[in-house]
Amino acid sequence: MDPAQLLTAELALHRRAALAGRAASAAGVPGRFRAWEHAGLLAVLATDPALAYLSTVTGVTPETLPALPELLSAPDWDGVDPAVVAPAGLRVPGLVPAGERFLAVRRLEPAPSRPPDEADEEVFLRVLLAGFEARGAVAAYMAAEHRLPIMRRFLLEDIAAAGMTIDAGVAILGAASTLPEFRGRGAQPTLLRRRLEAAAAEGCTLAVATARPGSPSVANLERAGFRLHRRQAWTRP
């Protein structure tokens, strides 16, 4: 895929993270949230330990890599160790590998319009959070993010839920979960298909998601036509 499209996908994810952080702050979720750009690098900060997985640096390329030491030395990171997520094969000096991730991207073609999903917000949140078995700050953050006015909410028979936002023609597939007793019955592939149909009907030309190797999401995304771009996470020794 064109490197410019990968950057477009990463920028869309970054802007979604910025919106989610502002929503979390407004909702009183613990910690401090910030998303900013530094010399082409895309930084996301969440200071509560339960939300440490949100603290990342993306947009890492051979061209932006020289600016990384300055970004990581910023006082914003005091007490926080972000994951620097770089394309596979690009070594990040001074850091050590910390697992792999996928950036999943798929081109979309225009499609006929379809009736919008009109999931009840409270039912949607109940199913989503129960499927993740989320608690505490994680549940509060997810609830704040998925109450965003731009969030499209998809429900399948009150047993599975999935979110999506749209940013400048890019469909960002967010959290998706199924209640434990209903897993393995095809709920998530169904919701993935419905989100892609809705995105194409709204004129999106690209869909993007993230996934960790070995997760059920990887197989679902591959079957749905996504191309998986391997990323290496790096962290301080």
Q: Do residues 84 and 101 lie in contact, with contact meaning Cβ atoms separated by under 8 Å?
A: no
pLDDT of residue 1 exceeding 70: no
β partners of residue 215: none
Distances (CA, A) of 40 to 2, 7, 13, 99, 231: 17, 10, 14, 23, 17
Q: What is the pLDDT of residues 195-229, one digit of tens each?
A: 999 999 999 999 999 998 888 889 999 999 999 99
Q: Which two tokens mark 122?
A: 């409270």
Q: Please report, to the nearest 10 degrees, the dihedral formed by the alpha carbons of residues 213, 214, 220, 225 taken in order.
A: 40
In this structure, of 2-6, 21-25, 72-76, 141-145, the range with the lowest mean pLDDT score is 2-6
Give Cβ neighbours of residue 130 (< 8 Å, ≥ 6 apart).
177, 179
Burial class (CB in 10 A: 0-12, 13-18, 19+), 133: exposed
What's the rounded Cα separation, in Å, for the pair 136 and 148?
Answer: 19
For the whole model, what pTM was predicted? 0.93
Question: Which run of H or of E encompasses 106?
Answer: strand 96-107
Closest CA relative to residue 235, chosen from 40, 44, 99:
99
Closest CA relative to residue 43, chosen from 99, 81, 2, 100:
81
pLDDT (0 to 100) of residue 115 = 66
pLDDT (0 to 100) of residue 217 = 87
Q: What is the pLDDT of residues 61-97, one digit of tens each?
A: 999 999 999 999 999 999 999 999 999 999 999 999 9
Look up residue 28 and give its amino acid: G
pLDDT of residue 3 exceeding 90: no
pLDDT of residue 164 exceeding 90: yes
